[in-house]
Amino acid sequence: MKFKYLIILSLNLLVACQQAIDIDKKLNLLPTINPDYINVTIPRNIAPLNFMIKDDINGVQVILQGEQNQLIANGKNDIRFNLNKWKKLIDKEKTLKVTVSVKKNNEWIQYRSFHWKIVEDEIDPYLSYRLIEPGYEVWNKIQLAERCIENFEENIFADNNLTEGSCMNCHIYNQQNPSQSMFHIRGKHGGTILNNKGKLRKLKTKTDKMISKAVYGGFHPGGRYAVFSTNYIIPEFHAEGSKKLEVYDTASDLAILDFETNQSITTPLLTDSTNFDTFPVFSADGKHIYYCAAKSVSVPDSIQKLKYSICSISFNDVNGEVGSVADTIWNARLTEHSACHLKTSPDGKYLLFTEADYGTFPIWHREADLRLIDLKTGKVDSLKNVNADYSDSYHSWSSNSRWFVFASKRDNGIYGKPYFCYIDKNGKAHKPFVLPQKNPAFYDFSFKSFNIPELSIGPLPFDAMDIEKVYWKQEAESFSDKGI
Amino acid sequence: MKNISTNIIASIIFGIIVYLFFTLMYPYHLHYQEQYQLFLITGDYFLSYLQMPGGFSDYMGGFITQFYFYPSVGSIFIAILLVSLQQLTWKISQRFNKTPLYYPLTFIPSLFYWALLCNENYLPGGLVALVIVMMFIYFTTQIKDGILKSVLSLLFVPVLYWLAGGAVVFYVLFSALMILFLSTRRTTQNIFIVVMQVALVISLPYLAKVILIQYPIIKMWIGVNYYSFPNTFPFYVGGIILLSISLPIIMNTLPEIKSKPQLILAIQYLIIISAGIFIINKSSDFDKEEVMAYDFYSRMRQWDKVIAMADQKAPSSPLSVSCLNLALAKKGLLAEQMFNYYQNGTGGLLPNFKKDFTIPMVTGEIYYQLGFINTAQRYTFEAMEALPLYQKSARSIKRLAETNLINGNQALASKYLKLLQKTQFYKKWATAMYKAMEEPQILMRHSEYGQLMTHKIQNDFFFSEGEKDMMLGQLFTANKKNRLVYEYLMAYCLLNKDLNHFMQYLSLGQSIGYKQMPQSFQEAFIYGWKMTPQKDQKPIPSFISNKKIQSANTFLSMMNLPNAKEALKKDYGNTYWYYLQFRN
């Protein structure tokens, strides 16, 4: 009997907790919330958008009002939604009206409501990124992590604690599929780690004809090839306060690696020393390679004249041959800007890239913004709705081509965070939102930058201990040049 | 009773000596350690430590280290921990033998740990772990034999592993030693418990590794950060813990002497005190303490204290000399007095960048004062990145907040200020800066920030480590009234023995408005003038005093004599000529 009363009492308390409070004052202003989730478009499978109130307050209540259901959440100065209740609500609704009320000086103030538009197009549920402090030449702890964006679970799949502190970077998937992915580990026992359905290979990619190991690259959709840039990379340090670092190449070429024969394919066109060629990717159908190209200039003196165009060249995946003529897709001379970080959408419709005033390393260029080329019409969308004051770069598509993720330094110019952006069926980009965290103050206390965020349709089939074993115990496979 | 009182007094005196040592003789080591951590008073920060085996000890170590901000407070914690270790050793030994005859021996582990703490790389978290292990041993010895003791002995192993990391091994070792050396403890049940404890101790690191997959297995075994460099195995700490747990058992085997106990006690104290003085003296590094003091006073902008230190004993290490030169420059005395002190080349003016956490921190201080805000920011960031335990540095975070305030990146400055607001000793400063940020005129009025904001580099260039004189020249060209930068530029040429550039740049100093040409400049000018072929010589300018010319003539006439270096040292040791001729 006592137990029954206890249950009734608990239920009453629960209901009481979820009741809307009496409002003393209504303001026709939007609340200042952190992160900025005001009027954003979200996928149905996203984790709760927990947020905090920037003002000094004594309490906050948020009502999420859908067409059928409602969710009320309370907090002291932040809101953390219950994951299960969130999922139940978001599953059934198309739009949520978000009403924020705060307790300030003993009165409850209600702000103007805003909306969260929920779209049917889901985003790939996993996101990988590199966690690194945004330093200069010295690095400390580097981790490659995988986050399930449907909840808050994060898994470290590579950690330089286990690999002699070596630098590790550029984890990318083939077509957002975790059964094929790769990244580089530098250091004595390092190499390019290639994951094929969980079987890990360590590759020594440098050949005689390549000027360096493989650097930036992308998979051929068939999985047999990957195209890479090989670069001599130099960092310089700006003296003036608003700039930090300039990273440029003194030479850069392209090479295609054949993972079946362990051969590197180069052509004179893509290894011309009077040109800088970098950031190559395959087209969605694998028949073209898109890359950035610039006439070499004297660096660093003429760095501001170094502007990269977007070019394309044909590729035959049957015999591994590269075409002999390159087309210019986006001309740096006409735009007087520089392109980098090319990413083709999996449906083949779009090419997303970063545009900066000059150079090849936009993450430290405040003006660097994302641009979207419609590959059918050649029309360039400046993505005004998406870009912000500081660098927006390092983007990756969701497998359905309706979402992309990018690293943005919009909040303080230094620490990059992953933002998600929806592209609707008309090609319109919606306001992006930052990766939600369980503790909404997470980013305030984090020292990490989220580098190279990449979406994937499932979890990776290996873990940090597998990488440790490959690093220490596995021999690296060599590559040789294919005669042309 | 009398003996017990004497013993307690001995422990109190020991604590007071430890306290006085760290407060009065070794305070800069404490400042040094404090600057390399950022202890946040937040739940998430606490939980982040608790995730790791031994994380609790590290957290407590960090908690203590934050009080090193005031060495007179931080030393209290060290004294309490060392006295606790001694008392626990004593209390455990009493379980076997109640005679206070060998009480002085219980100071030995504390003395050794004190010696370790004289090395700036040994962290207090290790001592916390040792005290926790000793507390658990003491608690276990207080339980009468039986089922409860057996159950708790097993239960304590994972708890202790969580609290003190791999140091739990010594708890189990103590149980084993008890069985080995005390026949009364040698029962089947006790042997079984020890076997189970051993099994637990071996399996726990592997179990932890399953959860904490990204850490090396060695980290799961050791747990606590005893030493600043995680790749260094803490053998010495292991030795002291071994000594601490075996000492009570050893003391039990010592003979019980009834005649002249006072004399035996006195002899023991005499030996312990003599050995203690010897060990602490050997372990202390007062040269490092001096460098740390120079750095501390530079960081605190106490330029007079830096110069006073140098007047007492001239510094010789590049880092100390660079702090002294900065202090002289800040007081407007660099050009006038720099050769009154030992100079060790350009490395003692602007030390070269090195990928570690000390040199960039000190050098960053100089670049900051000069107005190379981005370079100062880079050096402090890199210093923090180079910290081997991946911890953050309060000093670095504070500097990053400052450089971003000066550079006008308020969003980033506020990120760093928010972090500092969660600390005990930087909170007040951070809150004041937060308020100042909202009203830029407050910052502009600030004696230091205002000046640095005014002198901010407007025309961008790439900073080149190998061309420091060019960099100083660029900075000076932007503001020709910046005396600090001008004197650094000239000092760089002088220390580099580059008289060509010195002569070239000398005229740039007209905008500074010297009433009298500084000593070192006059000396360098005369030397350069004398070395110019007569046909190219212009009349010697009026800013060179006749006295100086006569003095130069004497020096030049004697400098090639066989033992000129020694002969000229007394009268010319503090001249640029002497540096030029005789310093490498």
Q: Is the pLDDT of residue B346 over 60?
A: yes
Contact state of A159 with B390 under an 8 Å Cβ cutoff? no
Would you tell me how many other CB atoms lie within 10 Å of the CB of residue A377? 9
Would you tell me how many other CB atoms lie within 10 Å of the CB of residue A4? 8
Q: Is the pLDDT of residue A17 over 90?
A: no
Sheet holding A191-196, edge to edge: A168-174, A177-185, A191-196, A199-204, A477-478
Quick one: pLDDT at residue A18?
64
CA dihedral A286, A288, A292, A294 (to 10 degrees): 160
Nearest by CB to B386, which of A138, A246, A300?
A: A138
CB of A247 within 8 Å of a chain B CB? The answer is no
Quick one: pLDDT at residue A9?
45
Rounded CA-CA distance B240/B277 in Å is 18
Location of structure tokens 């990269």:
A308
CB of A161 within 8 Å of a chain B CB? The answer is yes
Interface test with A, best of B222, B409, B419, B462 (most A CBs within 10 A): B462
Question: What percent of chain B has a predicted confidence (pLDDT) above 70?
Answer: 99
Rounded CA-CA distance A228/A232 in Å is 13
- Give Rg (Cα) of chain A: 24
CB of A317 within 8 Å of a chain B CB? The answer is no
Interface test with A, best of B38, B206, B214 (most A CBs within 10 A): B214
Ranking A30-44, A149-163, B249-263, B311-325 by mean pLDDT, the lowest is B249-263
Contact state of B460 with A161 under an 8 Å Cβ cutoff? no
Nearest by CB to B457, which of A135, A239, A244?
A: A239
Average pLDDT over residues A391-404: 97
The pLDDT tens digits of the residues spanning B464-503 come to 999 999 999 999 998 898 999 999 999 999 999 999 999 9
Contact state of A242 with B459 under an 8 Å Cβ cutoff? no
In this predicted complex, what is the ipTM?
0.91
Q: Is the pLDDT of residue A483 over 90?
A: no
Q: For B355, which residue in chain A has the nearest alpha carbon?
A: A138
Quick one: pLDDT at residue A19?
77
Would you tell me how many other CB atoms lie within 10 Å of the CB of residue A384? 8
Contact state of A445 with B40 under an 8 Å Cβ cutoff? yes
Contact state of B374 with A411 under an 8 Å Cβ cutoff? no
Interface test with B, best of A141, A238, A389 (most B CBs within 10 A): A238
Residue-averaged pLDDT of chain B: 93
Cα distances (Å, whole numbers) of residue A183 to A169, A177, A266, B352:
6, 14, 21, 34
Q: Is the pLDDT of residue B163 over 80?
A: yes
- Compute the nearest-CA separation of A8 from chain B (Å): 33
Contact state of A140 with B385 under an 8 Å Cβ cutoff? yes
Contact state of A414 with B215 under an 8 Å Cβ cutoff? no
Q: B535 or A459: whose pLDDT is higher?
A: A459
DSSP label at residue B467 = G
Coil, strand or helix: which one is A56?
Answer: coil
Average pLDDT over residues B8-32: 97
Amino acid of residue A398: S
The pLDDT tens digits of the residues spanning A410-468 come to 999 999 999 999 999 999 999 999 999 999 999 999 999 999 999 999 999 999 999 99
- Judging contacts by C-beta atoms under 8 Å, the chain A residues touching residue B218 are none
Q: What angle do CA B209, B214, B219 make, to 5 degrees?
A: 60
The pLDDT tens digits of the residues spanning A26-83 come to 999 999 999 999 999 999 999 999 999 988 899 999 999 999 999 999 999 999 999 9
Q: How confident is the model at residue A7 (pLDDT cuts 50, 70, 90)?
A: very low
Contact state of B462 with A300 under an 8 Å Cβ cutoff? yes
Q: Is the pLDDT of residue A258 over 70?
A: yes
Under a CB-based contact definition with an 8 Å cutoff, are residues A429 and A386 in contact? yes
CB of A304 within 8 Å of a chain B CB? The answer is no
- Compute the nearest-CA separation of A248 from chain B (Å): 13
CB of A159 within 8 Å of a chain B CB? The answer is yes
Would you tell me how many other CB atoms lie within 10 Å of the CB of residue B428? 12
- Judging contacts by C-beta atoms under 8 Å, the chain A residues touching residue B461 are 238-240
Contact state of A133 with B385 under an 8 Å Cβ cutoff? yes
Q: pTM of the prediction?
A: 0.93
Average pLDDT over residues A106-130: 97
CB of A298 within 8 Å of a chain B CB? The answer is no
- Judging contacts by C-beta atoms under 8 Å, the chain B residues touching residue A34 are none
According to DSSP, the residues that pair with A478 across neighbouring strands are A204
Contact state of A300 with B458 under an 8 Å Cβ cutoff? no
Tell me the count of A-B CB pairs closer than 8 A. Answer: 102
Rounded CA-CA distance B146/B140 in Å is 11
Contact state of A239 with B392 under an 8 Å Cβ cutoff? no
Q: How confident is the model at residue B3 (pLDDT cuts 50, 70, 90)?
A: low
- Judging contacts by C-beta atoms under 8 Å, the chain B residues touching residue A464 are 213-214
- Helix boundaries (H) for B348-426: 359-370, 373-385, 394-407, 410-420
Average pLDDT over residues B396-412: 96
Q: What angle do CA B370, B372, B377 make, to 5 degrees?
A: 120
Q: What angle do CA A183, A281, A145 make, to 5 degrees?
A: 30
Rounded CA-CA distance B335/B328 in Å is 8
Q: Is the pLDDT of residue B170 over 90?
A: yes
Q: How confident is the model at residue A5 (pLDDT cuts 50, 70, 90)?
A: very low
Q: How confident is the model at residue B4 (pLDDT cuts 50, 70, 90)?
A: low
CB of A78 within 8 Å of a chain B CB? The answer is no
Q: For A132, which residue in chain B has the nearest alpha carbon?
A: B385
CB of A301 within 8 Å of a chain B CB? The answer is no
Q: For A244, which residue in chain B has the nearest alpha carbon?
A: B374
Contact state of A240 with B471 under an 8 Å Cβ cutoff? no
Whether the bond into B158 is cis, omega within 30 of 0: no
B74-93 residues touching A, CB cutoff 8 A: none
- Give Rg (Cα) of chain B: 30
Contact state of B374 with A135 under an 8 Å Cβ cutoff? no
Quick one: pLDDT at residue B531?
83
Nearest by CB to A463, which of B213, B406, B419?
A: B213
Quick one: pLDDT at residue B61?
98
- Compute the nearest-CA separation of B214 from chain A (Å): 6
CB of B219 within 8 Å of a chain A CB? The answer is yes
Average pLDDT over residues B273-287: 97
CB of B536 within 8 Å of a chain A CB? The answer is no
Contact state of B474 with A411 under an 8 Å Cβ cutoff? no
CB of A439 within 8 Å of a chain B CB? The answer is yes
B411-430 residues touching A, CB cutoff 8 A: 411-412, 415, 418-419, 422
Question: What percent of chain B has a predicted confidence (pLDDT) above 90?
Answer: 81
Q: How confident is the model at residue B399 (pLDDT cuts 50, 70, 90)?
A: very high
CB of A5 within 8 Å of a chain B CB? The answer is no
Q: For A441, which residue in chain B has the nearest alpha carbon?
A: B44
